[in-house]
Amino acid sequence: MATKTQTFQTAKQLADFIGSEDIPRGQIIDIEHNASGHPVLTYDDGAFTYDADTGGGTVNVPADARVVEISCHAAGGDGTLTIGGGDSITVRSGQSFNVLGADKLVGAVALVFSATLDYYVSWTA
């Protein structure tokens, strides 16, 4: 994962840069202000990758990745999602679960979808 930092003179310059570079929201790591009060953008410029399928399954996110989105849908019964061996998240039948900007989830992690109709996970690496 290649992390870049860029400093701007104004917030408008920052906004114009994000728009012109077409940086997906999930690739923005942080926006802070330096000691001079100028906005500083930190973002991933790595490749965008995804895994999607129908039914349940496991997505193994690589060690050098930052998760951008996690999404799944259940139908015909409840499904579950487990992130990195943590507690199961129940997805009720007929409902969806979606996390945009899951960028705090960094590094090797397994996402296990069980009894879901379909799922989608994207990341930058």
Q: 63: domain CATH number?
A: 2.60.120
pLDDT at 35: 87
Whether residues 61 and 118 share a domain: the answer is yes
Whether residues 66 and 37 share a domain: the answer is no
pLDDT at 52: 93
Whether residues 67 and 118 share a domain: the answer is yes
Whether residues 59 and 109 share a domain: the answer is yes
pLDDT at 24: 62
CA distance 5 to 77: 45
- Strands (E) located in the chain: 3-7, 28-33, 39-44, 48-54, 57-61, 66-73, 79-83, 88-91, 96-100, 109-114, 118-124
Give the CA count within 13 Å in the CB-facing half-sphere of 97.
24
Domain holding 37, by residue range, is 3-44
Number of domains observed in the structure of the chain:
2
Closest CA to 81 of 122, 53, 111: 111
Does this model's pTM top 0.85? My answer is no
Q: Once rounded to an integer, what is the mean pLDDT over residues 68-89?
A: 93
| 2-6, 33-37, 99-103: segment of lowest average pLDDT | 99-103
Whether residues 81 and 101 share a domain: the answer is yes
On the question of pLDDT at 94 being above 90, the answer is: yes
pLDDT at 119: 94
pLDDT at 25: 58
On the question of pLDDT at 79 being above 90, the answer is: yes
pLDDT at 2: 65
Whether residues 56 and 40 share a domain: the answer is no
Whether residues 34 and 69 share a domain: the answer is no
